Amino acid sequence: MLAVTHVIWPVVSGVFLFFIALYSLPTFDWVTNTVGMGGIAIGVIPLMLNRKRSGAPVRCDLRRTSP
């Protein structure tokens, strides 16, 4: 059951969201696309700063197990 909640479900969710984004991208005008992509790009900055500050690796090590 752990594989479903920690691997399969997030992967299916990510693929679905990526598909919906690509499917709906041509229907929006350039302003909406620019604001959406800019929001995603700006969101990466705090993510990287937080990872750098906490010392967490940027890449995920799948061999590590949580306690």
Q: Does some domain include residue 49?
A: yes
Q: Does some domain include residue 11?
A: yes
Q: How many domains does the chain have?
A: 1
Q: Does some domain include residue 67?
A: no
Q: Does some domain include residue 16?
A: yes
Contact 48, 58 (CB under 8 A): yes
| Biggest CA pair distance of the chain | 48
Look at residue 28 in the predicted model and tell me its pLDDT: 92
Instruction: Supply the range of the domain harboring residue 25.
Output: 2-54
Q: Using DSSP, how many helices (H) and how many strands (E) does the chain show?
A: 3, 0
Q: Does some domain include residue 22?
A: yes
Look at residue 7 in the predicted model and tell me its pLDDT: 86
Q: Does some domain include residue 66?
A: no
pLDDT in tens, 2-35: 777 888 899 999 999 999 988 988 999 999 999 9
pLDDT in tens, 40-55: 899 988 988 888 888 7
Look at residue 39 in the predicted model and tell me its pLDDT: 92
Residue predicted with more confidence, 56 or 7 = 7
Q: Does some domain include residue 63?
A: no
Look at residue 30 in the predicted model and tell me its pLDDT: 93
